[in-house]
Amino acid sequence: MSLRFDDQFLKKLEYLHVVSKRAFAGHNRADRLTPTRGRGLEFADHRPYTAGDDFRHIDWKAYKRLNRLLLRLFDEERDLPIYLMLDVSRSMAEPSKFDMARRIAAALCYVGLAHLDKVTILPFGAGLARESAAGRGKGRIFRIFEQLEQLEPAGQTDLRESFKEFASRPRQTGLAVVISDFLDAGGFDGSLKILRTGGHDVFVVHITSERDRDPGALGEVRCLDAETGETRDIEITPRLAAAYRKAWDTHAAELQRFCGRYGIGYVRADAERPFEEIVLTAFRQGRFLE
């Protein structure tokens, strides 16, 4: 599948910003305000001069008026570290789901790169796979597209292990976007808490498909777990099918409720919905893009 977007769509993406609920300070200058005072262009405040401060920032007009040495402070504008964590386990192997996940990742990448944010792609399954080198600038987008195109679903999902691994490496805190179907036997709450306690602003993109939500035709079937290879003979009765749908809705609702409780952004991306609608509408509604 090609992840190339048409120009019109890319233009629309350029108007969007990735929104983080918290302000993070990156290493490079960019156009995002940071909580630190530094060498920006916009005046922020004064503070008394102390030995060692740069003379160039002394406000001489204030000294003349107040006879005190005050230092002018400016807002620091830096980039935002964005970690796009993409689930590449076998549960995502359904083409529509995986394509949707990669397209969303690509779109968010483009939005981030367009605003000079530092975007890192982190595929994960049972653990973290090889992450892409953090980069800035739109010029990197094609390399990221290629990288996303080369991803293949494999292995099981282990959110906890993957996020622990992510948290164990020294990183700048930033925006962690988890794109996954969250079908992990270990659950999602503990693992998302790991990201959150790591100081990141976490955003969840829940990828779902019709096959996830509905058990399909009635009758006796041998269900094969795509990740574990476990089989189970199930006779799907109307009652059982209804129970399945209910259980899945509960699963999705629990994830959404958890995200809401811990201030984690949540957007559900149904694979059957048009991709552009999800990016341009759902993400805006989820206050992830503006």
Partner 1 sequence: MTFGALAAWQAWALLAAAAAIAAALFLLKLRPPRTVVPSLLVWRRVLDEARELTLWERIRRAVSLVLTVLVAVLLAAAITRPSRDVNGTAAAAAGRLLVVLDSSWSMQAGTRSGETRWDRAVAEARRLFAGSRGREIALATTADGLVEGPTMDAALVETALERLLPSGGDRTAWPRTAEAAAVHFITDGAMMRATEPGVIVHSVYEPAPNVAILAFTVRRALAGERRWDAYLEIANFAPVGQTVHVTLERENARLFDQPLQVAATGVLRQVVPIAPPGNAVITARIRAGQNALTLDDEAVAWIGGASPLAVTVVGTDTGWLQTALEQSDGVDATFITPEAYGQGMQSGGGGEVVVFDGWAPDAPPKRPALLFAPPSLTPWLSAQPSSDPPAVATPGSEERRPRWEVPGGHPVVDGVDPYTLVIDRARAYTHPDLVPVAASARGTALVSVRESGEARAVVVAFGPGESNLASAPGFPVLLANALEWLARPSPVLPLFDGEDQRAGGTAAPGLVAFVPSVLRLADARGRRVPLWRLDDRALALVPAPGLYTAEGSGFRAPVAVNAGDPELSNLSRSTLGASAEETPVPVGASGRPWWVYCAVIAFGLILAEWWTWQRRITV
Asked if 168 is part of the footprint of partner 1 (rule: CB under 8 A), the reply reads no
Binding of residue 251 to partner 1 (CB under 8 A) = yes
Q: Which of residues 2-41 bind partner 1 (CB under 8 A)?
A: none
Span from 4-12, 144-152, 169-177, 178-186 in contact with partner 1 (CB under 8 A): 178-186
How far CA 224 is from CA of 192, 228, 229, 234, in Å, comes to: 27, 8, 6, 10
Three-state secondary-structure class, residue 201: strand
Which region among 10-18, 28-36, 216-224, 260-268 touches partner 1 (by CB under 8 A)? 216-224
Q: What is the CA radius of gyration of the chain?
A: 23
Between 248 and 275, CB nearer to partner 1: 248
The reply on whether position 227 binds partner 1 by CB under 8 A is yes
Q: Within 10 A of 89 (CB to CB), how many other CB atoms are there?
A: 24
To partner 1, the closest distance from the beta carbon of 93 in angstroms equals 8
Determine if 56 is a binding residue for partner 1 (CB under 8 A).
no
Q: How far apart are the first and last CA of the chain?
A: 28
218 contributes a contact to partner 1 by CB under 8 A: yes
d(Cα 35, Cα 76) in Å, to the nearest integer? 7
Binding residue for partner 1, selected from 42, 50, 233, 285, defined by CB under 8 A: 233
Distances (CA, A) of 253 to 12, 46, 266: 31, 49, 11
Q: What are phi and psi of 271, to 5 degrees?
A: -60, -20
Instruction: List residues bridging with 146 in a β-sheet.
Output: none
When the beta carbons of 136 and 251 are compared against partner 1, the nearer one is: 251
Select from 56, 64, 169, 222 the one that contacts partner 1 (CB under 8 A): 222
Yes or no: say if 122 and 175 are a contact pair by the CB < 8 Å rule.
no
**Could you say whether residue 154 binds partner 1 (CB under 8 A)?**
no
The string of DSSP codes covering 118-169 is EEEEEEESSSB-PPPPPB-SGGGHHHHHHHHHT----S---HHHHHHHHHHS
Q: How many CB atoms lie within 10 A of CB 139?
A: 9
- Half-sphere exposure in the Cβ direction for 189 (13 Å, CA): 11
How far apart are the C-alpha atoms of 167 and 195, rounded to whole Å? 7
Looking at residues 83 to 112 of the shown chain, list those that interact with partner 1 (rule: CB under 8 A).
Answer: 90-94, 97
Please tell me whether residue 224 binds partner 1 under the rule CB under 8 A: yes
Instruction: Report helix angle 189-197 to 238-261, nearest 10.
Output: 20
76 binds partner 1, rule: CB under 8 A: no
231 makes contact with partner 1 (CB under 8 A): yes
Residue of 71, 73, 183, 259 interacting with partner 1 (CB under 8 A):
183
Number of residues that bind partner 1 (CB under 8 A): 43
* 163 or 288: CB nearest partner 1: 163
Rule CB under 8 A: choose which of 4, 210, 228, 290 binds partner 1: 228
- Would you count residue 244 as binding partner 1 (CB under 8 A)? yes
User: Is residue 181 within the footprint of partner 1 (CB under 8 A)?
Assistant: yes
Query: Contact residues for partner 1 (CB under 8 A)?
Result: 90-94, 97, 157, 181, 183-185, 209, 211-212, 215-216, 218-228, 230-240, 243-244, 247-248, 251
